[in-house]
Amino acid sequence: MSDGIQQLKDLQPTKEFFVGIDSDGCVFDSMEIKHKECFTPEFIYHFGMQPVSKYAREAWDFVNLYSKTRGCNRFLALLEVLKQLSERSDVKARNVTPPSLPGLRAWTEKESKLGNQALEEAAKSTQDEDLLKVLEWSNDVNKAVKRVVHGVPPFPGVLESLKKFEPQADMIVCSQTPTEALVREWDEHKIEGYVHMIAGQELGTKAQHLDYAAKGKFDANRCLMIGDAPGDMKAAKANGFLFFPIVPGKEEESWKNLHTEAIDKFFALEYEGAYEAQLIEAFEASLPEFPDWD
Ligand SMILES: [Mg+2]
């Protein structure tokens, strides 16, 4: 785990530009299948949400797919989903009290690498009931992803963009998915050769990945993060980097725009400013902050 962080820190520029790329929902059209077929069923089962499964599903989808928290870390997502469900009148009417998992909340507040491995270590050393329960859920999600998610190719336009970036930019994958799943997916579709490193949740937050890999090594206006979630943008901006949004629901259009226009602007140092701002505005308008139930 720490070896991976050191590897990121040791990366040395081989080209003039740097690009960080999110994976789920950005490169791969895998968000729907992962959440709907893997995360949600395991969430309902492990946290006793059977009596309110319809609302559990709506909340899971809202937090993870269709709102500003889209793409956030699974453990933070779990806390937010449980909070939304505990406030929802339909859930209260059925006398269901979703667990608040104070042990998990405490862990997320002090741990910077919110991955399965760190969770497993904390659960084993503390024997905290919440952590043990969440670990079981998280492990079952990983098993489900391994079983279910196959043959989901990159969005049209991804390969063309990777090829266009390659001569001038060092690239890394920057994700909150477990690294082993990322490696499997990038390898399955023969695109792992385009990136210098694949950084998953065990190596810290996306902002940390960008910091370790690129900050101070490249000029900030030569560093670009590509992602489909506000968290990707925050990670970019935390480092003073540029951001290119893959707009949820308009992914093909976004990749086409990147390939035919935005990459040229980035390499010409004309991306920063009005051009980036109008892309970000359209992106922000595409995701709501609050659910519309209650
Ligand atoms: Mg994503």
Rounded distance between C-alpha atoms, residue 69 and residue 281, angstroms: 17
Q: Model confidence over 97-121: pLDDT tens digits?
A: 999 999 999 999 999 889 999 999 9
d(CA 242, CA 221): 7
Q: Is 200 among the domain residues?
A: yes
Range of the domain at 181: 2-30+155-285
Q: What is the pLDDT of residue 247?
A: 96
Q: In the listed set 99, 124, 148, which residue is the last one of a domain according to the structure?
A: 148
The encoded tokens of residue 113 equal: 């690498």
Whole-structure pTM value: 0.86
User: How many angstroms separate the alpha carbon of residue 59 from the centre of ligand 1?
Assistant: 18
Shared domain for 139 and 170, answered yes or no, is no
Q: 71, 228 in Cβ contact below 8 A?
A: yes
Distance 22 CA to ligand 1 centre (A): 6
Residue 292: inside a domain = no
Tokens (6 digits) for 283: 């992106």
Bridge partners (DSSP) listed for residue 218:
215
CA distance 126 to 132: 9
Q: Which of 117, 148, 179 is the last residue of a domain?
A: 148
Strand partners, 24: 28
Q: What is the pLDDT of residues 150-204, one digit of tens each?
A: 899 999 999 999 999 999 999 999 999 999 999 999 999 999 999 999 999 999 9
55 lies in a domain? yes
In the prediction, which pLDDT does 293 show? Answer: 87
What's the confidence (pLDDT) of residue 2?
A: 62
pLDDT (0 to 100) of residue 71: 87
* Residue 96 Cα to ligand 1 middle (Å): 31
Residues of the chain with pLDDT under 50: 1
Of 98, 125, 148, which closes a domain? 148
CA of 232 to the centre of ligand 1 (A): 7
Give the per-residue pLDDT at 294.
80
Which CATH number does the domain housing residue 178 bear?
Answer: 3.40.50.1000
Residue at 238 is within a domain: yes
Q: Which helix (H) or strand (E) holds 133?
A: helix 129-148
- Residue 170 Cα to ligand 1 middle (Å): 20
Assess if residue 213 is contained within a domain.
yes
Paired tokens of 231: 């968290």
Instruction: Please state, in angstroms and rounded to a whole number, the distance separating the CA atoms of residues 155 and 175.
Output: 17
Task: Say if residues 62 and 35 touch (Cβ distance below 8 Å).
Answer: no
Of the candidates 26, 80, 3, 62, the one whose C-alpha atom is nearest the C-alpha of residue 254 is 26
The predicted pLDDT at position 273 comes to 97
Total domains present in the chain: 2
Are 112 and 23 members of one domain? Answer: no
- 263 within a domain of the structure (yes/no): yes
CA of 95 to the centre of ligand 1 (A): 34
Q: Is residue 208 part of a domain?
A: yes
User: Considering the domain boundaries, does residue 293 fall inside one?
Assistant: no
